[in-house]
Chains A and B, each alone.
Chain A
Amino acid sequence: MTLAHRIIPCLDTDGSRVVKGVHFEGLRDAGDPVELAARYNVEGADELVVLDIAASRDNHPTFLETIRRVAQQLSIPLAAGGGIRSLEDARSVIRAGADKITLNTAAVERPELIRELSNEFGAQAVVLAIDARRENSCWKVRVHGGRTATGLDATEWAMRGIASGAGEILLTSIDRDGTQSGFDTALTSTISKCVGVPVIASGGAKIPRHFFEVFTEGAADAALAASIFHDEVQSIRALKSYLRENGVSVRLPC
């Protein structure tokens, strides 16, 4: 009777197609978001994240349509983000069928946005996405898809975001993203152990052992991956069986 550790496939989109890059660069097409969503829904994904990594103003209507079509496929929760800068943007995304909003750059630029969304939709609907890169002995927050340094310390920013009403942290290691060399368990546990909200670890997953490590050493509540699921390198079902055999609580669909 404990809360299951969640496995979350992530669809990074250009608004309408799924794309994937390494270290946030070199994007290639990775499929149709609606088809992938339908597959993950039946394979036992615990939640789905859809991000608009182009996140331009012009793209917003296209992205809303993608959210609508993806949501139609799902009987699991959906988080969506990218380019959400106002309460109105967030409301349109929720009305399109998302259960949660993820905020990244816009929250750094205007931290009050977190409070505005949390007051309206509740903390459970506001996910603060943090892209962190190691600098000497600590982790610093970067924005604009990892291109821009902010000088913010990742732990301090996470705590500020939670104090403002974020109900969850989506923590991406820029150093590990796309490398398939394993999650950054040191980064994940540092943040997870000093915040009182769930932490979703992201960046670097390839094999089942990586997930085991991030749920145990990394103290993550959920783990997110993209290309290994899209490319069918790893099935969600087999991953969950492995985790259960190794004593990690997971939900097996029944």
Chain B
Amino acid sequence: MKVTVIDYRAGNVTSVERALRRLGTEVSAANRPEEILSATCLILPGVGHCAALMGALDAQEIRNPLLERIADGIPFLGICLGLQALYESSDEAPGFAGLGLFKGRVSKLPQTVKLPHMGWNQLRASRPSALLRNISPEAYFYFAHSYAAPDSGPENTALATHGRDFMAIAEHQNMIGVQFHPEKSGAPGAQFLENFLRRAA
């Protein structure tokens, strides 16, 4: 299966592409509407500011092609901001609309803890999932964010905690979002990507 990684030119997509190639997957980076419309599996890596991501989706006219392909049922994985983009709105970018595929608002983590939530943390599975296959419940994943999605909803597959609980793996039908960076999470991260590819195939 060929994976299309959306490169909206604000973050570093190289590490995502490299992690997928290590698993023997064919990968291409794309930012044109027609490339998105012909994709059979999409990954939206998100690094940076939420407004930059939302703004880029509109400026580069990829919001509608993306929504169209997701509605067609092709496998979609959003990483970090890519997960947050699946929700209706984000307090980080009040003027921008999210993709609105999951209900709720992305909000800042409480300032009772150090922000950004930066480094390695564990997950708490809310239900069994093929995405967690061969991954130890003790495994650590790499996070780097200050805003996070809600802690409940039909998409809840795993939560993590930093100041409050938040969605670490959101999963509903063909739509998957992860708040951590599987491409920077060592062996468990690679296993997660492999599980996603297997589920997508």
Complex Cα distance, B19 from A235, in Å, reads 26
Assess whether B18 is interfacial by the CB under 8 Å rule: yes
Task: Using CB atoms, name the residue of chain B closest to A253.
Answer: B186
Q: Is the CB of A76 within 8 A of B184?
A: yes
Q: Is the CB of A254 within 8 A of B14?
A: no
Give chain A's interface residue range (CB within 8 Å of chain B).
35 or more
Q: Is the CB of A120 within 8 A of B10?
A: yes
Q: Is the CB of A3 within 8 A of B111?
A: no
Q: Is the CB of B114 within 8 A of A197?
A: yes
The contact string, 1 if C-beta is below 8 Å from chain A, for chain B 172-201, is 000000000101111111100000000000
Assess whether A86 is interfacial by the CB under 8 Å rule: no
Q: Is the CB of B18 within 8 A of A77?
A: no
Q: Is the interface of A mostly helix, strand, loop or mixed?
A: loop
The one of B118, B121, B138 in contact with A254, judged by C-beta atoms closer than 8 angstroms, is: B138
Complex Cα distance, B11 from A198, in Å, reads 22
Assess whether A99 is interfacial by the CB under 8 Å rule: yes
Assess whether A62 is interfacial by the CB under 8 Å rule: no
Complex Cα distance, B145 from A167, in Å, reads 10
Q: How many residues of B contact A (CB 8 A)?
A: 42
Assess whether B146 is interfacial by the CB under 8 Å rule: yes
Assess whether B142 is interfacial by the CB under 8 Å rule: yes
Q: Is the CB of A97 within 8 A of B114?
A: no
Residues 169 to 214 of chain A near chain B (Cβ within 8 Å): 196-198
Residues of chain B with a CB closer than 8 A to A12's CB:
none
Assess whether A221 is interfacial by the CB under 8 Å rule: yes
Supposing A2-B121, A122-B47, A122-B48 touch, asked if A99 and B115 sit within 8 A by C-beta, the answer is: no
Q: Is the CB of B142 within 8 A of A77?
A: yes
Assess whether A124 is interfacial by the CB under 8 Å rule: yes
Complex Cα distance, B146 from A72, in Å, reads 27
Q: Is the CB of B161 within 8 A of A77?
A: no
Q: Which of B115, B117, B138, B144 counts the most A-chain CB atoms under 10 A from its CB?
A: B144
| A contact residues vs B (CB 8 Å cutoff) | 1-4, 6, 41, 46-47, 71-72, 74-77, 94-95, 97-99, 119-125, 167-168, 196-198, 221-222, 251, 253-254
